[in-house]
């Protein structure tokens, strides 16, 4: 580092997934910006958080790094196996509707591989991402811990590394994970919107069995609940497996046992994990952390931003941490680039960034709480689950709250019906296992539908595409949104023409036949879920005209696909039966 100190446009503190993703997107879409990343450690270094969701693959592709991650040979995550919920036997879910094809690796980012995720050894993954950020134009400093954040009012005036180097920049980003170096310098208060306080103990094992070998290099995450917590089992390379135990902090305290004792006991006690670890060698070092979900009360200041886990964290049961982190870093990069262009109102840009990140983390925290409640072993959360539904204007029992969730009770800030980054179809599949859902699609018993925009206001919401922040018109009422894009826009247009289901179906068919087949398929798939979510959130009122026919919709079809890997013939039989029995399926 130079004796005069470093001057740059963007100083990023922390070189984990948030810092490297942000740096890569800034370099890709704003090549004239001088971006510097300061990382305390020298990579490779271990880090918890190894099981990804498929959305990350899209980010990696856009960053131009998917091929490098694929070439590292990480296990392909095609879904998960759970022991959870009301059923105590194992249940499986898959990101794919078919078996993973036997495509040799390294594969291309195409077909099925667009819908799968990775289980990553973070010592390798984080280094690939940080090296990539450097390759595309960021200057990276490793072993450069930021020790001091110089502040004046709400401004960062400069940074100092542990070795005394001075850094000044136009924008400062805190990507330091849970440490929150800039967040703590400004004493930003954090919320803890959950009753759940867990601790996690984890270690690494060599040569454990893989629970399943699917296609080439594919497997499933294992989440096994115990009477007092749960165990994760993630193969993260051909030979290395991450195994962790999560349990309530209160249980840990009252047990008066050491983490190592509790950890080893739990792995022995859980039969599937015990079996998979027979013959495996423990690397011998147990890591521990408290994993309490939190949310920073503000995530930007006069010239600084929080990105990734420094802005908030949701319980690891959903394996969503890195997805939230990398989405957040991407959106911050696009926000900074728009601030530079000066075409949008900066207050709108910043408020959109804050609103989206906070709502996303909050949604994931709520969803994690639902998840724990439905395990039947976290009794103290039951009342809280009701509270979640109440916040959304409903007075429901915990079980009914799950049913409501599975119906896609509202439209999410990511413009999809669901919860955080979880699409409604996935939630339905989960709730089917957690607590059987009795909900029926409105098409099955209603045939007159009216658009209800009473009292709604038109607002602009941000959408992040191709390095730009685009304004999307939405209706907003009582904190709920109806975005005027994609399937929603089509539904609004159709309902402006007619209230009759049959007429709507005819118009939809005409529209589908005029679209590119991929677009048509996507719209046809999204239409029923999006329509249902609009009914649930009050944008559509539904009634029945006994003189007009019903058009029952088949929501079962995708559920059977979950069973596919277990018994293909049976799944095919069920799909054929479900299709055959449904008149007029869209
Ligand atoms: C128990 C547990 C289990 C989890 N399981 C999952 C999972 O299965 N799937 C998932 O997606 N997520 C999981 N997560 C979440 C995941 O770990 C985080 O979402 C992710 O690591 C956040 O990335 P980040 O870049 O924001 O922070 P980090 O990955 O923590 O990176 C921050 C970086 O900043 C550096 N740094 C810190 N302070 C300074 C400083 N002062 N100066 C310079 N550098 C600094 C650190 O060395 C580090 O490299 C889990 C988390 C926990 C606690």
Question: What is the whole-number distance in angstroms between the Cα of residue 242 and the centre of ligand 1?
Answer: 16
Residue 114's DSSP bridge partners are none
Nearest residue CA, atom 31 of ligand 1? 16
What contacts 437, CB < 8 A, 6 or more positions away? 402, 403, 406, 407, 428, 431
Residue 325, both tokens: 């982190």
Which strand (E) or helix (H) includes residue 173?
Answer: strand 166-174
Compute the mean pLDDT over every residue in the chain, rounded to the nearest whole number: 86
Question: What is the whole-number distance in angstroms between the Cα of residue 60 and the centre of ligand 1?
Answer: 17
- 117-118 and 166-174 beta bridge pairing: unpaired
pLDDT value of position 479? 79
The answer to whether the beta carbons of residues 318 and 422 sit under 8 Å apart is: yes
Which SS3 state, helix, strand or coil, does residue 83 take? strand
The answer to whether the beta carbons of residues 151 and 89 sit under 8 Å apart is: no
Q: How confident is the model at residue 437 (pLDDT cuts 50, 70, 90)?
A: low
Give the nearest ligand 1 atom to 221 CA: 8
Question: What is the whole-number distance in angstroms between the Cα of residue 309 and the centre of ligand 1?
Answer: 6
Q: How confident is the model at residue 367 (pLDDT cuts 50, 70, 90)?
A: confident
The answer to whether the beta carbons of residues 194 and 369 sit under 8 Å apart is: yes
Q: What are phi and psi of 329, to 5 degrees?
A: -65, -40
pLDDT at 303 exceeding the cut of 60: yes
**For residues 376 and 434, what is the distance between their CA atoms, to the nearest angstrom?**
9
Residue 300's DSSP bridge partners are 305
pLDDT at 16 exceeding the cut of 70: yes
Q: How confident is the model at residue 401 (pLDDT cuts 50, 70, 90)?
A: low
Nearest residue CA, atom 13 of ligand 1? 49
pLDDT value of position 369? 77
**For residues 254 and 258, what is the distance between their CA atoms, to the nearest angstrom?**
11
Q: How confident is the model at residue 576 (pLDDT cuts 50, 70, 90)?
A: low
Question: If you average pLDDT over each of 328-342, 439-453, 474-488, which comes out highest?
Answer: 328-342
Residue 125, both tokens: 């993954």
Q: Rounded mean pLDDT of 406-434?
A: 63
**For residues 339 and 516, what is the distance between their CA atoms, to the nearest angstrom?**
35
For the segment 147-168, what is each residue's pLDDT rounded down to a tens digit? 999 999 999 999 999 999 999 9
13 lines ligand 1 (CB under 6 A): yes
Exposure string for 125-147, b = 16+ CB within 10 A, e = fewer: bbbbbbbbbbebbbebbbebbbe
Question: What is the whole-number distance in angstroms between the Cα of residue 228 and the centre of ligand 1?
Answer: 26
pLDDT value of position 363? 80
165 lines ligand 1 (CB under 6 A): no
pLDDT value of position 424? 63
In the chain, the N- to C-terminal Cα span, in Å, equals 63
For the segment 209-232, what is each residue's pLDDT rounded down to a tens digit? 999 999 999 999 999 988 888 999
Q: How confident is the model at residue 555 (pLDDT cuts 50, 70, 90)?
A: very low
**For residues 547 and 532, what is the distance between their CA atoms, to the nearest angstrom?**
23
Q: What percent of the chain has pLDDT over 70?
A: 82
What contacts 379, CB < 8 A, 6 or more positions away? none
Q: How confident is the model at residue 583 (pLDDT cuts 50, 70, 90)?
A: very low
What contacts 369, CB < 8 A, 6 or more positions away? 194, 195, 196, 315, 381, 384, 385, 388
The answer to whether the beta carbons of residues 14 and 175 sit under 8 Å apart is: yes
Range name among 18-27, 41-50, 286-295 with the lowest pLDDT average: 286-295
For the segment 67-90, what is each residue's pLDDT rounded down to a tens digit? 999 999 999 999 888 887 656 678
pLDDT at 557 exceeding the cut of 60: no
pLDDT at 9 exceeding the cut of 70: yes
181 lines ligand 1 (CB under 6 A): yes
Q: How confident is the model at residue 249 (pLDDT cuts 50, 70, 90)?
A: very high
Q: Rounded mean pLDDT of 35-40?
A: 98
Which strand (E) or helix (H) includes residue 130?
Answer: helix 122-135
pLDDT value of position 552? 63
pTM over 0.75: yes
Q: What percent of the chain has pLDDT over 90?
A: 63
Residue 356, both tokens: 């989206």
Range name among 28-42, 113-127, 250-264, 536-550 with the lowest pLDDT average: 536-550
pLDDT at 418 exceeding the cut of 90: no
Question: What is the whole-number distance in angstroms between the Cα of residue 160 and the centre of ligand 1?
Answer: 22
121 lines ligand 1 (CB under 6 A): no
pLDDT at 403 exceeding the cut of 70: no
Range name among 12-21, 366-375, 544-553 with the lowest pLDDT average: 366-375
Question: What is the whole-number distance in angstroms between the Cα of residue 287 and the centre of ligand 1?
Answer: 14
For the segment 481-524, what is each residue's pLDDT rounded down to a tens digit? 899 999 999 999 999 999 998 899 889 889 988 988 878 877 88
Which SS3 state, helix, strand or coil, does residue 197 take? coil
pLDDT at 384 exceeding the cut of 90: no
**For residues 173 and 339, what is the distance between their CA atoms, to the nearest angstrom?**
14
Range name among 126-135, 362-371, 457-466 with the lowest pLDDT average: 362-371
47 lines ligand 1 (CB under 6 A): yes
pLDDT value of position 444? 83
The answer to whether the beta carbons of residues 511 and 490 sit under 8 Å apart is: yes
Q: How confident is the model at residue 439 (pLDDT cuts 50, 70, 90)?
A: low
Tokens 């009342």 label which residue?
383
Nearest residue CA, atom 49 of ligand 1? 16
18 lines ligand 1 (CB under 6 A): yes
169 lines ligand 1 (CB under 6 A): no
Question: What is the whole-number distance in angstroms between the Cα of residue 422 and the centre of ligand 1?
Answer: 21
Q: Rounded mean pLDDT of 336-347?
A: 98
Rg of the chain over CA atoms, in angstroms? Answer: 24
526 lines ligand 1 (CB under 6 A): no
374 lines ligand 1 (CB under 6 A): no
Task: Please report how the helices 346-373 and 382-391 are oriented relative to each other, as an axis angle in degrees rounded to 10.
Answer: 150
369 lines ligand 1 (CB under 6 A): no
Q: How confident is the model at residue 360 (pLDDT cuts 50, 70, 90)?
A: confident
Exposure string for 556-571, b = 16+ CB within 10 A, e = fewer: bebbbbbbbbeeeeeb
Range name among 92-106, 310-324, 362-376, 484-498 with the lowest pLDDT average: 362-376
Taking CA atoms, 243 is separated from 69, 101, 275, 530, in Å, by 22, 28, 13, 38
Nearest residue CA, atom 38 of ligand 1? 176
pLDDT value of position 374? 62
pLDDT value of position 578? 46
39 lines ligand 1 (CB under 6 A): yes
The answer to whether the beta carbons of residues 54 and 95 sit under 8 Å apart is: yes
pLDDT at 565 exceeding the cut of 50: no
17 lines ligand 1 (CB under 6 A): yes
Whose CA is closest to 426, among 559, 322, 546, 310? 559
**For residues 22 and 59, what is the distance between their CA atoms, to the nearest angstrom?**
11
Range name among 171-180, 267-276, 390-399, 411-420 with the lowest pLDDT average: 390-399
């Amino acid at each position: 580092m130079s004796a005069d100190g470093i001057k740059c446009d963007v100083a990023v503190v922390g070189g984990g997934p948030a810092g490297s993703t942000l740096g890569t997107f800034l370099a890709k879409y704003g090549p004239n910006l001088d971006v510097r990343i300061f990382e305390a450690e020298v990579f490779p270094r271990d880090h918890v958080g190894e099981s990804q969701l498929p959305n990350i693959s899209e980010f990696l592709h856009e960053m131009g790094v998917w091929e490098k991650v694929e070439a590292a040979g990480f296990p392909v995550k095609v879904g998960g196996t759970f022991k959870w919920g009301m059923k105590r036997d194992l249940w499986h879910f898959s990101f794919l509707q078919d078996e993973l094809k036997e495509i040799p690796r390294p594969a291309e980012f195409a077909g099925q591989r667009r819908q799968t995720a990775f289980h990553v050894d973070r010592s390798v993954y984080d280094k690939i991402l940080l090296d990539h950020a450097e390759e595309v134009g960021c200057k990276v400093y490793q072993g450069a811990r930021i020790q001091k954040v110089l502040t004046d009012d709400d401004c960062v005036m400069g940074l100092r590394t542990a070795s005394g180097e001075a850094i000044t920049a136009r924008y400062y980003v805190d990507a330091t994970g849970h440490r929150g170096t800039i967040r703590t310098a400004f004493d930003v208060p954090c919320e803890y919107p959950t009753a759940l306080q867990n601790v996690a103990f984890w270690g690494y094992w060599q040569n454990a069995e893989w629970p399943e070998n699917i296609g080439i290099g594919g497997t499933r995450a294992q989440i096994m609940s115990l009477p007092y917590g749960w165990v994760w089992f993630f193969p993260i390379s051909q030979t290395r497996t991450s195994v962790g135990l999560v349990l309530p902090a209160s249980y840990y305290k009252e047990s008066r046992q050491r983490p190592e004792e509790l950890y080893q006991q739990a792995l022995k006690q859980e039969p599937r994990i015990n079996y998979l670890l027979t013959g495996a060698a423990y690397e011998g070092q147990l890591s521990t952390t408290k994993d309490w979900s939190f949310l920073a009360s503000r995530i930007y200041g006069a010239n600084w931003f929080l990105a990734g886990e420094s802005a908030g964290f949701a319980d690891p049961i959903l394996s969503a941490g890195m997805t939230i982190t990398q989405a957040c870093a991407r959106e911050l990069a696009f926000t900074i680039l728009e601030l530079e262009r000066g075409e949008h109102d900066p207050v709108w840009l910043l408020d959109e960034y804050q609103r989206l990140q906070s709502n996303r983390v909050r949604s994931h925290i709520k969803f994690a709480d639902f998840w724990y409640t439905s395990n039947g072993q976290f009794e103290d959360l039951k009342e809280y689950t009701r509270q979640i539904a109440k916040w959304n204007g409903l007075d429901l029992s915990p079980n009914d709250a799950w049913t409501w969730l599975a119906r896609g009770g509202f439209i999410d800030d990511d413009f999809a019906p669901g919860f955080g980054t979880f699409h409604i179809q996935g939630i339905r599949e989960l709730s089917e296992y957690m607590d059987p859902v009795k909900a029926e699609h409105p098409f099955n018993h209603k045939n007159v539908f009216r658009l209800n925009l009473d009292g709604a206001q038109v607002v602009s919401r941000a959408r992040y595409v191709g390095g730009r922040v685009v304004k999307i018109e939405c209706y907003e009422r009582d904190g709920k949104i109806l975005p005027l894009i994609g399937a929603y826009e089509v539904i609004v247009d159709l309902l402006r023409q007619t209230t009759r289901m049959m007429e709507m179906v005819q118009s939809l068919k005409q529209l589908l036949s005029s679209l590119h087949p991929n677009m048509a398929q996507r719209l046809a798939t999204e239409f029923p879920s999006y329509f249902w979510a609009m009914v649930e959130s009050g944008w559509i009122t539904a009634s029945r005209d006994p003189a007009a026919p019903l058009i029952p919709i088949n929501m079962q079809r995708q559920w059977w696909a979950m069973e596919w890997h277990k018994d293909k013939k049976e799944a095919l039989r069920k799909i054929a039966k479900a299709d055959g029995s449904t008149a007029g399926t869209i």
